[in-house]
Amino acid sequence: MLYVDHGDVATSAGAGAGIDLCLHLVRKDHGAAHATLVARHMVMPPHRDGGQAPYRPPTPAASAVDDLLEWVDARLETPLSVGDLAAHLNVSPRTLSRRFADQLGRSPGAWLLERRVVRARALLEETDLPVEVIAARVGLTSAVNLRRRFRDRVGTTPATGKTAWSSSMDRTGRCSS
């Protein structure tokens, strides 16, 4: 609910909801057409139902996870376990897993593997480094492991993907299609 109107008392929570309440009062006092005109001038919808989730500032736990994500991104080449990530935040692996599930919808291990595959794909697209070197740079340790993880997540092998991506780019690095 964005606002409440009890006839003699109307109240809202937050600035955005206050605008919704003002448009409601204009609609009530001057009609829907006038409220729609005012809303257009404000570049606002004439009426919102209030079904959307309210904005909530990030919690300290969310901020800590954001900091952890940056920390991990800078260390992808390092062998990292869920225990290492949890230790960095001074929480148990179970607490870390719950925070990841709540905030990212996946486990820390799944997120870490996804980041490694994304970084590997970027290196395949942007460099001529061999697969073995890329595997080491993204923390997947071997070309065999990189190929397997890459195929599972991207649907192709690194070599096939690199060929396809390079043929769709012109000499300036732009897509030719």
Provide the residue ranges of all domains of the chain, joining segments of one domain with +.
3-42, 60-111, 114-167
Tokens of 35: 């409220």
* Domain 114-167 annotated CATH 1.10.10.60: yes
139: alpha, beta or left? (left if phi > 0; alpha if psi -120 to 50): left
- Cα gap 64→85, rounded to integer Å: 11
CA 176 to chain centre: 29
Q: Does domain 60-111 have CATH number 1.10.10.60?
A: yes
> What integer pLDDT is reported at residue 155 of this predicted model?
85
Output the tens digit of pLDDT for each of the chain's 177 residues. Answer: 576 878 888 787 777 778 888 888 888 888 878 888 887 877 776 666 655 555 555 556 667 788 898 999 899 899 899 999 999 999 999 999 998 888 888 899 999 998 999 899 889 888 889 999 999 999 998 999 999 998 888 888 887 877 666 555 444 444 444
Q: Is 93 left (phi over 0), alpha (psi -120 to 50) or beta?
A: alpha
End-to-end CA distance of the chain: 47
Amino acid of residue 150: F
Supply the pLDDT for residue 150.
87
pLDDT for the residue numbered 57: 56
Domains 60-111 and 114-167 share a fold: yes
Q: Give DSSP secondary structure letters for 30-90.
A: H-HHHHHHHHHHHT--S---S-SPPP-PPPHHHHHHHHHHHHHHTTTTS---HHHHHHHHT
pLDDT of residue 162: 72
